[in-house]
Every structure is written in C-alpha cells, then in structure tokens.
Amino acid sequence: MLSTMFVSTSCNDDYQETLSAIVTVVDGSYDVSYSIRFGDGKTAYVTNTSKYNFSFPAELEGEQRAIIYYYIEDEVKPGYDYVITLVDAGTVPTIIAKASDRLDTALESYVDKVTIEEPSFTDNKYLTMLLSFMGNKPDVNTHKFMLVYNKNVDKSGMFQDSYPKSDDGYLWLELYHYRGTDVEVEPYYIYNCFKISPKQLGTKEFSEYKGIKILHKPIGKTNNTEILTIKF
C-alpha cells in the first residue's frame, strides 16, 4: 500500500510530498539505531530515529513491521537507496503463523468472521493484510487472529470442504478470528502481519509453490468460505 498526502513546510509556502508505506524496520548497530526496508527490497536511512522508537521481538529476529509516514530527503547515504525523515510511525501487529492438527484445541473458540483486504507478501516471509471485522469500539482490542497451516491429511476442521481434491501447487493456509467478549456493532479495520516460515510450518519452500491461498469466512456472509489467492 502506498498513499500520498501533502503537508506544508514550516519555513515557506511550498508543499512537501509525504508518503506512507508498510515496511520492515531493521535493527541497527552502534551508529545506526535502525533502518527501513521497503516491500520492493530497497532500503532507507532514517534521519530522525531518536523521535520514533521500535522494539524488536525475539521471534522476529531483529525486525519489526510498521506503517510509516515520511518524506524523502534530497541526500545520499552510502549503502542506502533513500534518505528519509519520518513524520509519523507505528508498529503493525505481527503474528507467527503456526501449524495445527486435530489434537490442537486452541482454535475451538476462533470461529468469528473476518474479511481480508489489501493483501501483500514481502521479504519472502511477511504476509500483511487489512482485516475487517464486526466489533464495538471499547472492546476492539480484544480481537485475536491466527493464521494456520492444517497438517491433517484429510484437512479436517472448519474449512475441510473448501480444499481441492488434489494438490494445485499452492500453499493453503487458514485464517481464524476470535472476538472474545466483544459484540458485533459495526465494522472495524486493522492491519495485521503474519510471519510465515516453511521450516516452522513443516512445508516445502516458497519457491516450490505457485503462491498462497487463504481460507477465511468473511463478514456479511452466512457460512460461506472464501479463498484469497496471492500468486508468487
């Protein structure tokens, strides 16, 4: 996702283009707090890292997903494609995709509907999606999501009837939603990222797949399952 807005500079009446993007923040070293890696692999040096702090969870191995608002400086920094200044920034919740089988009871309460919008697969591991669901504002933070690889040979579970009869060359995953004690009042939207590791899931490498297919039950539909396809 890339959008554009315009903000005025403090020194004159000109307008400076401010961009937004969902990116990977990469932990730095003694002289650089962190840097930015965009979805196309290009990197950016950040001029004002002290203004926006990021934590780096162990499971993300020195990285963090974030949405940033920034502008590009007319400078060159060796080793980087861009030099940018952040206008605003915030982390994108990142969840580790897991493998599951019929003995796993953790999914029993994850039966609520969720719709997928704006999917993207970057860095050969991060699946980012805008998720929409029904909720009530005071309780919106109680919602939880899980992205699962079904290890059962017969694919038993909520989405069993939606699997193809034979291997179609895609990595099939299942998206689950749990709304907790929240009530369905109006639609809400949140960006969520899922880190997918073939090693952790026990699947083939991404290079051996045509892409990813995600089974989910969208809001506004009775019991229908939808399949979202992301081609590599």
pLDDT of amino acid 14? 56
The per-residue DSSP string of 127-177 comes to EEEEEEEEE-GGGGGG-EEEEEEE--TT--STTGGGS-SS--SEEEEEEEE
Q: What is the mean pLDDT of the chain?
A: 90
Q: What average pLDDT does this structure show over 173-191?
A: 95
Q: Determine the 3-state secondary structure of 12 from DSSP.
A: coil
Fold agreement (2-91, 94-231): no
Residue 184 has pLDDT above 60, yes or no: yes
Residue type at position 200: Q
Query: In which band, very low, low, confident or very high, does the pLDDT at 103 lie, cut at 50, 70 and 90?
Result: low
Q: What is the pLDDT of residue 125?
A: 97
Q: Specify the pLDDT at position 2.
A: 35
* Residue 141 three-state SS: helix
The correct CATH number of 2-91 out of 3.40.190.10, 3.40.718.10, 2.40.50.500, 3.10.580.10 is 2.40.50.500
pLDDT at 94 over 70: yes
Residue ranges of the domains in the chain? Answer: 2-91, 94-231
Residue 180's pLDDT band (boundaries 50, 70, 90)?
very high
Half-sphere exposure of 4 (CA within 13 A, CB side): 4
pTM of the model: 0.88
- Name 110's Cβ contacts closer than 8 Å, sequence gap at least 6: 144, 146, 176, 177, 178
The CATH homologous superfamily to which domain 94-231 belongs is NigD-like, C-terminal beta sandwich domain (2.60.40.2370)
| Paired tokens of 86 | 């952040």
